[in-house]
């Protein structure tokens, strides 16, 4: 007798666009539709009645075997994607169990997988080859992935980042602020901010950061980050601000100096006339007044030095000769204070400079070092070639040092750490170095001394800057 229900069911299964087959409890094929035979490159008569694992032994070591047995043993449906190497194809599979066996629907999703793989490679290429540092976090702030830019930014290898939090790599002063920004990203908000990151070598790096929530199926599952080193930009901003301050002080200095100098000259002249006439006045009083007027004259002179354009004559010079002249000049003062000045150098490229101006700058710096070393010691001066475009002069003293708060104010007009200083010497020095297209940087610790690093362009470097 013809089973109409079975015929009707088979007709439906032949019309569907998915491959379909059924196996019994002994894993033998009981039905295979036409689409399935095409996808599997087999005939129905070769499969029906045969054991699936005998016909496709390669599948035993793949996810197919595991998932089909799970569905039958637990009587639960399963759905998965799997690659079948013998056919070089990807299949999307759904399996539905019954007490008597298993029904399986499957599709060839190879092209879809390849398209997705291309998209994944595009995103991966953007991630890996982005010029900035790119990274991702889980919801707890632990790194999940980093690109080469991130390795270069902070000096750690990718494996060193994984499974650690961002917090140890942020300047401790900024951790609270960065955490607040991260938490906002976890809530779905894009965040842009600047902070300081800690390089593996201990150096603090200024960075601009963007945090972007990773959203999957409408839920935030992590956070992407993009960081850019802006240390150079920060330094340039500070130099610009300093330059503007110097310009403003120069204009102010000129007017102040001229206003003071004229009446000061009159006072000094009359004081000299009065001294022989007023015998009853203690002579030391006149000495004190003359000293103080001389001191005021010195200050006005320094103000004018800052204010008026200097007649600069630049020639090709040897920096070693300039340093030797300065050391010879200051050696007697150093020896009187039990200080030894040591100079280390090698063959260096020539520079273009105003010899007298540079000598004045180095005299100011080395005198500061001498005056900071009340207990004697060594001032080490190292002259080095950085490259064909620049040289590096480093002055290291063993003085009293300067606290971080005070160090940030060095070079400001009228600020000084000396009892009788004017605060203009360091300002003049900075102006001279910058006028020679160089840079100067101070580092200091209280009780440890001060390190001054000066970079000056060589003859070749000067030509590049001017060009």
pLDDT at 152: 86
Mean pLDDT, range 188-209, rounded to an integer:
90
Q: CA quadruple 369, 370, 373, 374: dihedral positive or negative?
A: negative
Q: Give 94-111 as a 3 state SS string.
A: EEEEECCEEEEEEEECHH
pLDDT at 11 over 70: no
Q: Which two tokens stand for residue 195?
A: 């902070």
CA 433 from centroid of its chain's CA atoms: 27
Site of tokens 């390089």 = 199
pLDDT at 421: 46
80 touches 107 (CB < 8 A): no
CA distance 170 to 181: 13
What burial class does residue 74 get, using C-beta atoms within 10 Å of its C-beta: 0-12 exposed, 13-18 middle, 19+ buried?
exposed
pLDDT-based confidence at residue 32 (cuts at 50, 70, 90): very high
Of 57 and 313, the structure prediction assigns the larger pLDDT to 57
pLDDT at 2: 38
In which element (H, E) is residue 385 found?
Answer: strand 377-387
pLDDT-based confidence at residue 466 (cuts at 50, 70, 90): low
Nearest Cα to Cα of residue 412 among 425, 427, 430, 401: 427
Mean pLDDT, range 114-119, rounded to an integer:
73
CA distance 327 to 439: 21
Mean pLDDT, range 404-429, rounded to an integer:
60
Q: Look over the chain and give the mean of its residue pLDDT values, rounded to a whole number.
A: 81
Q: Which 3 state secondary structure label does DSSP give 188?
A: coil
pLDDT at 101: 93
pLDDT at 14 over 60: yes
Q: In Å, how far are 11, 16, 23 from 35, measured between CA atoms?
A: 13, 8, 16
If you average pLDDT over each of 182-186, 269-273, 456-460, which comes out highest?
Answer: 182-186
pLDDT at 60: 92
Share of the chain above pLDDT 90, in %: 36
Q: In Å, how far are 336, 344, 385, 465 from 324, measured between CA atoms?
A: 19, 11, 17, 27
Mean pLDDT, range 163-170, rounded to an integer:
89
Mean pLDDT, range 8-12, rounded to an integer:
58
pLDDT at 76: 93
User: Across 248-337, where does the E strand assignment appear?
Assistant: 315-317
Of 111 and 381, the structure prediction assigns the larger pLDDT to 381
pLDDT at 282: 63
pLDDT at 260: 67
The model's pLDDT over 358-416, given as tens digits with 9 standing for 90+, comes to 888 898 899 889 988 888 899 999 999 988 899 999 999 998 888 777 766 665 554 45
In which element (H, E) is residue 198 found?
Answer: strand 191-198
User: Across 44-174, where does the E strand assignment appear?
Assistant: 78-84, 89-98, 101-108, 133-137, 143-146
CA distance 241 to 405: 18
pLDDT at 428 over 90: no
* Eight-state DSSP code of residue 28: B
CA distance 459 to 467: 12
CA distance 382 to 342: 8
CA distance 424 to 416: 8
Share of the chain above pLDDT 70, in %: 74
pLDDT at 215 over 60: yes
Angle among Cα 460, 462, 466 to the nearest 5 degrees reads 120
């Amino acid at each position: 007798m013809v089973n109409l229900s079975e015929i009707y069911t088979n007709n439906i299964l032949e019309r569907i666009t998915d491959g379909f087959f059924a196996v019994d409890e002994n894993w033998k094929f009981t039905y295979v539709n036409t689409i399935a035979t095409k996808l599997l490159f087999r005939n129905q008569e070769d499969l029906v009645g045969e054991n699936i694992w005998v016909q496709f032994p390669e599948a035993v070591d793949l996810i197919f075997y595991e998932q089909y047995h799970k569905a039958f043993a637990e009587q639960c449906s399963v759905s998965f994607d799997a690659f079948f190497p013998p056919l070089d194809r990807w299949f999307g599979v759904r399996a539905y169990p019954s007490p008597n066996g298993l029904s399986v629907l499957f599709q060839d999703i190879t092209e879809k997988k390849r398209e997705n793989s291309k998209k994944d490679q595009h995103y991966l290429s953007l991630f890996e080859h982005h010029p900035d540092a790119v990274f991702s976090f889980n919801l707890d702030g632990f790194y999940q992935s980093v690109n080469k830019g991130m390795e270069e930014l902070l000096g750690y290898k990718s494996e060193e980042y994984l499974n650690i939090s961002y917090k140890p790599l942020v300047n401790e002063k900024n951790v609270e602020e960065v955490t607040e920004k991260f938490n906002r990203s976890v809530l779905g908000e894009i965040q842009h901010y600047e902070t300081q990151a800690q390089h593996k070598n201990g150096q603090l790096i200024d960075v601009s950061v963007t945090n972007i929530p990773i959203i999957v199926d409408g839920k935030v599952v992590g956070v992407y980050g993009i960081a850019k080193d802006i240390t150079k930009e920060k330094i340039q901003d500070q130099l610009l601000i300093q330059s503007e301050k110097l310009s403003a002080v120069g204009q102010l200095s000129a007017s102040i100096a001229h206003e003071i100098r004229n009446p000061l000259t009159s006072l000094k002249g009359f004081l000299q006339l009065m001294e022989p006439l007023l015998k009853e006045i203690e002579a030391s009083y006149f000495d004190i007044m003359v000293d103080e007027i001389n001191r005021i004259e010195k200050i006005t002179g320094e103000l004018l030095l800052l204010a008026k354009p200097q007649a600069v004559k630049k020639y090709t010079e040897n920096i070693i000769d300039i340093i030797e002249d300065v050391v010879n000049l200051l050696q007697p003062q150093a020896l009187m204070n039990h200080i030894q000045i040591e100079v280390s150098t090698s063959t260096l490229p020539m520079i273009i400079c105003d010899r007298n101006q540079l000598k004045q700058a180095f005299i100011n710096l080395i005198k500061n070092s001498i005056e900071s070393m009340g207990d004697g010691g060594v001032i080490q001066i190292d002259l080095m070639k950085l490259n064909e475009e620049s040289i590096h002069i480093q002055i290291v003293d063993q003085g009293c040092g300067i606290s971080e708060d005070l160090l940030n104010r060095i070079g400001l007009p009228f600020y000084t750490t000396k009892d009788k200083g004017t605060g203009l010497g360091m300002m003049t020095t900075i102006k001279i170095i910058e006028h020679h297209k160089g840079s100067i940087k101070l580092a200091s610790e209280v009780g440890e001394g001060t390190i001054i690093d000066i970079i000056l362009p060589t003859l070749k470097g000067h030509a590049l800057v001017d060009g």
